[in-house]
């Protein structure tokens, strides 16, 4: 569901969520690094890392690597709502 994929330098996300979810949250605490990821359904796709938009292309979002840097981070992973 969350699409968590570990890589040597960090992790990526390729979620498969149904819009019946209001959203979800994932905590990643690995290699002295902490990420709190909120999955949200939105009018636009995008990854917001520590308050900054870092990716908006849905095809590239699944390959965005969240680096293990010994920091503490927040992520909004925005999934575009399907048009009804």
pLDDT per position as a tens digit, 21-31: 778 999 999 99
Reported confidence tier of residue 83, pLDDT bands at 50, 70, 90: low
Q: Which pLDDT does position 84 carry in this prediction?
A: 45
Dihedral sign from CA coordinates of 30, 31, 32, 36? negative
Can you spell out the DSSP letters for 11-65? EEE-----TTS-EEEEEEEETTEEEEEEEEEESS-EEEETTEEEE--HHHHTT--
Which pTM value belongs to this model? 0.90
pLDDT per position as a tens digit, 39-72: 999 999 999 999 999 999 999 999 999 999 999 9
Q: Which pLDDT does position 23 carry in this prediction?
A: 84
């Amino acid at each position: 569901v969350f699409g968590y994929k570990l890589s040597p330098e960090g992790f990526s996300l390729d979620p498969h969520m149904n819009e019946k979810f209001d959203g979800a949250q994932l905590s990643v605490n690995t290699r002295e690094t902490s990420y709190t990821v909120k999955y949200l359904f939105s009018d636009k796709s995008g990854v917001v890392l520590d308050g900054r938009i870092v990716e908006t292309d849905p095809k590239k979002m699944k390959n965005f690597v969240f680096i293990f840097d010994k920091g503490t981070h927040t992520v909004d992973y925005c999934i575009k709502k399907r048009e009804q």
